Structure 1
Amino acid sequence: MSTKVDKLNRKENEGFRIMGLPIGLFAIITVVVLIATYMKVLPGGMIGAFPLMMVIGAILNEIGNRTPIIKDFFGGGPIVVIFGSAALVTYGVLPETSGEIMTSFMKAEGFLNFYIAALITGSLLGMSRKLLIKAAVRYLPAILGGVVTALGLVAIVGAIIGYGAKEAILYIGIPIMGGGMGAGAVPLSEIFGTTLNLDVTAMLSKMIPALALGNAIAIVVAGLLDKLGKTKKSLTGNGKLLISQEKEEVKAEEKAPVAIEYKLMGIGLLLSTTFFAFGKILGEFIPIHYYALMIISVAVIKALGILPEKYELGAFQWFRFIMANLTPTLLVGIGVAYTDLAAIIDSFTFQYVILVAVTILGAALGSGFIGRLLGFYPIESSITAGLCMANMGGTGDVAVLSASNRMELMPFAQISSRLGGAFIIILATALLKLFM
């Protein structure tokens, strides 16, 4: 039996593949889906939306991840999927009916909330409890330093150049610092739209350019910080965050690989959707957006160690399944249902580029300075607590750490993307109340 499995595994690694499928089989599937789409017989609901969005997402993701410059400086696949799918519908390459099916699936049928619930629950419950607790003592203040400096600078520069301090904070600073697309800009646009009674699509269309450009600048700054560390060696630990030589470094607990269990994944599905429902319940009594309340609930449960570890594992496995298989699918939905290309094109002005760059620099400077006061090497603190807050989530973390040659700092980058992004959602809710 093992010999047969080994042979299958060897075959699986042969040749070019998309979504794990041989190119020939993927092409046949694509042709079938597109024929149904252009004949306008593609079923409504998820039965039609899933194959169309998965096929489009896989193709555009492959293009983005293989295109020079785009893959190195602009986030690769995710950016191409979002803008490419938006263009396909905006310029009539895909029939109008297919756009309606995908939009309904994202909004009316709740795929967006389904994905976000899995992301929040699984990523937080899957994090090391020791890492979560220890990191909060020193690392979160470093994140806060970067956030305060970034938002302060973008507000000042926004006021000086005529963009507006409030607008610069809400539509440029907050989205950039929000932890990426799925757990950052998307829920933020929902919060902004709900609170300000504005169109969610318009909100997201204002935020996405900031994310894309901010991610690119963050990657460039990471490379420059690496070069600075080679010149000013006192500023860097060459991948080590803490200056102290004691064993204070916060490390993820090393665990033996755990086999995928389908029953546990089902439990993870139940937990993620239940936590989402719990956030909605709390939202009826607490004047905070239910996304933020859900995040707080999951973090508290994790910190207190209430859930048995096997159920946390189930939530993590479900999250990994959703992220590995449906992230490009979600990005297609974001492009089709939430991205207004005309508004995005209009956003790219000299003012806009300056404000995005100021936000990134503020994040790096603030987190580096506060990190140094807390016993961190400034460059490592700037990269993890600053730039990994200002990039596009998980893909941005990889790009930033690769550019700075500090992949060993991934656990801290993940804290920035997960907990830092959660903090920004809570902060955005509070700022909206203040600005209203």
Structure 2
Amino acid sequence: MKATVHEPQGNIEGLKERWWRVFDVRIGALPLPVYLLLIVVLALMSAHGKLSADLPTGIALVAVGGFTCAELAKRIPWIRHVGATSIFAAFIPSMLIYYKLMPEPVTKAVTTFTKQSNFLYLFIAAIIVGSVLSMDRQTLVKGFVRIFIPVASGSIAAAVVGTAVGTLLGLDLKHALFMVVVPIMAGGVGEGALPLSAGYAQILGVEQGPIFAQVLSAVMLGNIAAICCAGLLSYLGTRRPRLTGNGRLTIAEGGDEVTGSEHASFEFDVNSVAAAGATAIALYLVGMLSHQYFDWPAPVVMLVLVVAAQFFQIVSPRVRGGARFMYGFFSTAVTYPLMFAISVAMTPWGEIVASFHWVNIVTAVSTVLTLVGTGFVVARWTGMYPVEAAIVNATHSGLGGTGDVAILTAANRMELMPFAQIATRIGGAITVMAALAVFAWLR
């Protein structure tokens, strides 16, 4: 009798437990039932022409798209070790648009949402502030001082090797250097390809458009090669643990750049996370103001300010704990949706296809491999982990801020974003200025 009485209750509890197990299956950060529900709802909205670009709909679209791309890549053997999740999220949506395989309402809504919200810079601000405020002060300073050595030596070696390879394959020496090798290390599109092509056009007295197309294709190839290198470096770190700090750049006893004993004392609550977010936004706006008044790069200004705040201990431990949580949330839940959004709104697949000539590919790959390999070799001499130093060097050949996100995601080392910004922004600016000076002299 007793077993009969409790059997319905037991069945209900069993069903509930099974349902909860299903609910805990994740596609990215999305529970499986929520993921399926969002697909159905968004498909119906798109079919009825009611797909808007407001904040909730935009978040749902990029979340479903980004996590779907990443999940597909994770299930493909072999290539998942070369940054396939980043490559899929960063380029597959652009390809689908180019071949008209993505529904027009989805493309329009995602593009409008991405450009109006500008959440790429919110992501970069949260990652930089969160990762810097989570670092040990001495490790932070040590890393910033030392990272210039592998970046500078890698840039010189890559320029020599990449130009030599391109020349041997039949390219004109000046074309190989200035149209393929230099653009790869110029810091992306806005800070690299655009000013570089404008400078070339002014020096030559020609239109900028055709030159920009050539430069942009090299940037795209370098970015893809860097993502693959980052994925391989991450895989190497799992097979050879002594070569990696798992996100730590410098080799040191005690302390940790993102995890460690110091963080055990961090106490924070929801208000602390909100305070950390407000701090990140405030520093970003100061950077934007400096750009408006003095034309200084906003991310670099923001980076300098947060490093100074950490070094002089301006931010309280509680808010630093909130910043660490903020960093974890953005790196886990926002990365792939962001890459999907950037791919839809800002990545020209046609330019990528146009650059797929084997000579350009080999030249670009040799440039990136030299840059990465030099960082790997030089790292030990400067007290850095080879894998981490090589990954930072890889970001020097990336597509600006979006490239940094893709490369560090492929490497599973988002903690390195502050150092990546140094390599991308400052390294790119120096590359552009030096290249234009030499190009004008040779002209």
Q: TM-score range, shorter-chain basis?
A: 0.7 to 0.9
Paired residue for 1:48?
Answer: 57
Q: Quote how far apart the aligned CAs of 1:279 are.
A: 0.6
- The alignment partner of 2:86 has SS state of helix
1:427: which partner in 2? 427
In the alignment, what sits opposite 1:71? 80
What pairs up with 1:351-362 in 2 under 5 angstroms?
351-362=359-370
The CA deviation at 1:134 is: 3.1
Between the aligned partners of 2:40 and 2:254, the Cα distance in structure 1 is 52
Retained in 1: the 8 A contact 2:86–2:227? no
The SS at the match of 2:353 is helix
For residues 8 and 125 of structure 1, the distance between their equivalents in structure 2, rounded to whole angstroms, comes to 40
Q: CA deviation at 1:398?
A: 8.0
Is 1:210 the counterpart of 2:219? The answer is no
1:71 Cα deviation from its structure 2 partner: 0.8
Equivalent residues in 2 for 1:14-413 (5 A)?
16-73=25-82, 75-138=83-146, 140-158=148-166, 161-162=171-172, 163-174=175-186, 188-192=188-192, 195=195, 206-217=218-229, 219-220=231-232, 251-252=256-257, 253-254=260-261, 255-256=263-264, 261-374=269-382, 380-381=385-386, 383-390=387-394
Specify the SS of the correspondent of 2:264: coil
CA distance in 1, matches of 2:294, 2:132: 22
Note the aligned Cα RMSD (angstroms): 3.8
Report the Cα distance in structure 2 between the residues aligned to 1:303 and 1:10, rounded to whole angstroms.
Answer: 49
Percent identity of paired positions between Structure 1 and Structure 2: 19
Q: Deviations over 1:51-88 (max 9, x none)?
A: 11111112111101111233122x12221122222133
- Please, which moves more after superposition, 281-290 or 366-375? 366-375
1:238–1:93 CA distance, 2 compared to 1 (3 A): closer
How many residues align? The count is 391
* Ranges in structure 1 where 5+ consecutive residues have no aligned partner: 176-187, 230-235, 402-409
**How far did residue 330 of structure 1 move?**
0.7
The answer to whether the 8 A contact 1:172-1:356 is kept is yes
- Which has the larger displacement, 141-150 or 338-347? 141-150
Task: Please tell me whether the aligned partners of residues 38 and 95 of structure 1 are also in contact (alpha carbons under 8 angstroms).
Answer: no
**Is the alpha carbon distance of 1:25 and 1:311 closer, same or farther for their aligned partners in structure 2, counting shifts above 3 Å?**
closer
How far the C-alpha of 1:41 sits from its partner, in A, is: 0.1
1:429 corresponds to which letter in structure 2?
A
Alignment-mate amino acid for residue 385 of structure 1: A
Q: Separation in 1 of the partners of 2:342 and 2:231?
A: 23
Once the 2 structures are TM-superposed, how far is the Cα of residue 95 of structure 1 from its aligned partner? 3.0
Amino acid at match of 2:429: T
Deviation of residue 164 (structure 1)? Answer: 2.8
Query: Is contact 2:147–2:419 with CA below 8 Å preserved after alignment?
Result: no
Conserved 8 A contact 1:57-1:329: yes
**Normalising by the residue count of structure 1, what TM-score does the alignment of the two structures yield?**
0.75
Q: CA deviation at 1:224?
A: 8.2
User: CA 1:257–1:205 in structure 2 vs 1: closer, same or farther (change >3 Å)?
Assistant: farther
What letter matches 1:432 in structure 2?
Answer: V
CA contact (8 A) 1:45 1:109 kept: no
Query: 1:426 is aligned with what amino acid?
Result: I
CA contact (8 A) 2:144 2:419 kept: no
The range that moved more, 114-123 or 329-338, is: 114-123
Shift of 1:220: 4.9
Deviation readout 1:322-351 (Å, 9 max, x if unpaired): 222221111111111111112111212222
Report if the CA contact (8 A) 2:153-2:374 is conserved.
yes
* Alignment-derived partner of residue 205 in structure 2: none
